[in-house]
Amino acid sequence: MSSAPVRRVVITGMGLVSPLGLGLEDVWQGLVTGRSAIGPLESFDAGGLPLRYAAEARGFTGEIDNFGPLEPETKKAIRKGLKVMCRESQMGVAAAQRALHDCGISTAADGPERFGCVFGSDYMLTLPEDFTASVARCRGADGGFEFDRWASDGMPQLTPLWLLKYLPNMPASHIAIYNDLRGPSNSLTLREASGHLAVGEATVTIQRGAADVMLAGATGTRVHPMKTVHALQCEQVAFGDDDPRSWSRPFDRQRRGMVLGEGAAVLVLEEFSHATARGARIYGEVLGHAARSANDSRGVGLRRRALGLAMRRAVEMARLPMGLPSHIHAHGVSTVAGDRDEAAALADVFGDAVERIPTVAAKGHFGNLGAGSGLVECIASLMAMRAGALFPLLNYRTPDPDCQIRAAVSGEDAGTSFISSSVTPQGQAGCVIIGGWNLGA
């Protein structure tokens, strides 16, 4: 066995696009003041759908100014590439550029061969209007669609680079090209678990010596004509006649489903000595991570088991005092079954202590951002540790006897570590444990 010391992995940069805003401080202020980002659905015509409210990233318009401070050549390249990026890719690139600016690193000076990227996403779907002209050319005299005309009449109407907009490996590809990242690169498509798994893979890549710096990110959306329909068909989505800002209520007894949202987030992960040598500001350290999956003989996801396995392994790796994190940032999707399964998994891992550890869930502010959720939530907890105080569990009013968690209250100590997890309906779970840091301003 190798006697070489384990390479420590720290977080030196953060960037995001979220319904609460595009800046770290905007998001933090939204959390501590109890602001909900849920409002009228405006990004597409929802006529014919029962859904009228969502958590859209309204501050992200796709304009070049949304991407943060950029060098002239980078700005020129991104502006040119916008036409071959779907909204999810654009949000992912914007979060990455903001994270790079936040960490103050120069890929040219720090060696592009030692700088890589792991990026997660949801499955990416085309917009219906991308096919409008093609379908129109294949309609017969009776108005019906004639399939045998698609190759000759329909396909030529598609934009030549149409497919590049929707490939899930494109966020990592764009980011690497714009920033000359020549290190290890990978793309993960694991829905809500994608962000946590990206952090895990990026951490292992640095620890095995294949890179010194890695971008770990994820981008996702549930606010999309086709994905919204899919969610309405397959998952519990919140409806009602009351204030939609109260609909996302993780672990509350009156919860009635998730709110659909969109967003992206990126962490810059860096080997500890590399970070200190350049005088980097350090937000935290990756102490543990894990990925697990579980489903039954019919392929139905077993969320409780998957989450429990992932959290238990991450705790073993992290070696926390007493085996307990200072606070829990729950997946908190706000569905009846999902929150019940997660609360049970937390009890499986932490026992009675789960009723003493403060729990937050930023989804109370912005719903389910798909693959983007997990790392936006990690950034929220990192900022809480930096501020020394937690934000409250929004909309939590009536405790549920099936969810024995201890909801965080405004201003209580965030502590020195947190555990953050996510799970998909198919039973794929990811988990990270991050410790705080005292270095830097």
Give pLDDT, residue 249: 97
Model confidence pLDDT, tens digit, residues 76-89: 999 999 999 999 99
pLDDT, average across residues 217-224 = 95
Q: Which residues of 77-96 are buried (b: 16+ CB within 10 A; e: fewer)?
A: ebeebeebbbbbbbbbbbbb
Give pLDDT, residue 241: 87
Residue 1 has pLDDT above 60, yes or no: no
Residue 373 has pLDDT above 80, yes or no: yes
Q: How confident is the model at residue 321 (pLDDT cuts 50, 70, 90)?
A: confident
187 near 90, Cβ under 8 Å? Answer: no
Choice among 48-52, 198-202, 275-279 with the minimum mean pLDDT = 48-52
Q: How confident is the model at residue 438 (pLDDT cuts 50, 70, 90)?
A: low
H helices, E strands: number in the chain: 13, 13
Model confidence pLDDT, tens digit, residues 112-137: 999 999 999 998 988 888 888 999 99
Coil/strand/helix, residue 246: helix
Give pLDDT, residue 128: 86
pLDDT, average across residues 176-194 = 96
Give pLDDT, residue 439: 40
E strand residue ranges, 70-212: 115-121, 185-189
Model pTM greater than 0.75? yes
Q: At what angle do helices 336-350 and 303-318 cross, to 10 degrees?
A: 40
d(CA 436, CA 388): 10
d(CA 58, CA 20): 9
Give pLDDT, residue 2: 55
Q: How confident is the model at residue 441 (pLDDT cuts 50, 70, 90)?
A: very low
Model confidence pLDDT, tens digit, residues 194-216: 999 999 999 999 999 999 999 99
pLDDT, average across residues 260-281 = 96
Residue 413 has pLDDT above 60, yes or no: yes
Q: Which residue has the tokens 């309204």?
A: 58
| Domains of the chain by start residue, with CATH | 12-125+166-436 (3.40.47.10), 128-163 (no CATH)
Give pLDDT, residue 108: 62
d(CA 189, CA 220): 10
Choice among 90-99, 112-121, 159-168 with the minimum mean pLDDT = 159-168
Give pLDDT, residue 109: 63
Give pLDDT, residue 68: 96
Model confidence pLDDT, tens digit, residues 397-409: 999 999 999 999 9
421 near 288, Cβ under 8 Å? Answer: no
Give pLDDT, residue 437: 81
DSSP 391: P
Residue 232 CB neighbour total at 10 angstroms: 16
Give pLDDT, residue 440: 39
Task: Quote the mean pLDDT of the chain.
Answer: 94
The tokens of 295 are what?
């489903």
pLDDT, average across residues 94-117 = 89
pLDDT, average across residues 256-266 = 97
Helix boundaries (H) for 286-395? 303-318, 336-350, 363-366, 373-387
DSSP string of 295-313? B-TT--B-HHHHHHHHHHH
